Amino acid sequence: MRHAEFTTAIPALTPTSATAPTAPLSNGGGKFGGIFNEVEGEVSDFIQNGGGDFATSATLSAEGRMWAARSQGATAAVMGDGADTSPDQQAFLASIAPWAKEAADKLGVAPELVSAHAALESGWGQRPLRNADGSSTYNLFGIKANAGWRGNVAESATTEYVGGAALKTSARFRAYPDQASAFRDYAQMLIDNPRFHGALGAGNNAHAFAAGLAKGGYATDPAYAAKLSRLAGKLQNVSG
């Protein structure tokens, strides 16, 4: 999904952190899997070419509209669509608030922007990357363990976008001892990597922050900046 250093871990039946199109909802065997395989490319092409109203589009078959609608539903769950955050989402935001503020201060952005990025990448903390023993890696930002990484590593399934199509693969990710370490590494990575300097100093400008990350190659999903910007804007409205 990203440059070799970054990617989002996506367990089965959950959308990627960049959710249009979502990761395959299923590719199981039998008639169910066969129908999905037939329409997956159709839905992906529709989205890539501008999309529109899935429910009424004449360019999608009935099966395509069904899968697109399911995809949108999964996306809405991760994006937290709606005016308010749920109790679980509020609990997640509270749990990361001190570290999000610390990272935000270093990056020159509003804390809500960092919290939104963590929420988007981790599905509001519901899709944490895990170590082999099942313990959390605290990697809420889907950061890969590249050749220069000297810390602990966990291998996990992930979804990469290639030519607009979501493909499942596996990758090695950074593992941290706690949330504080994860947020500090995230902030330092953005500061040290010149590709992401466009995201620094964005203040309250969610669009500038998201666009800077996307331009630097944080994600391969072409809609990534829009999704992060929308979620960050929602958190700013809630906190305001």
Copy the structure tokens of residue 194.
């010149």
Q: pLDDT at position 222, please? A: 83
Q: Which of 105, 185, 192, 221 is catalytic?
A: 185
- Peptide bond before 21: cis, by omega within 30 degrees of 0? yes
Copy the structure tokens of residue 1.
């999904």
Q: Which of 160, 178, 192, 221 is catalytic?
A: 160
133 is catalytic: no
192 is catalytic: no
Q: pLDDT at position 62, please? A: 53
d(CA 227, CA 153): 28
- 123-173 pLDDT, tens digit each: 999 887 888 889 999 999 999 998 889 999 988 877 767 777 777 777 889
- 177-234 pLDDT, tens digit each: 999 999 999 999 999 999 999 999 999 999 999 999 999 999 878 889 999 999 999 9
SS3 173: strand
Copy the structure tokens of residue 110.
């509003």
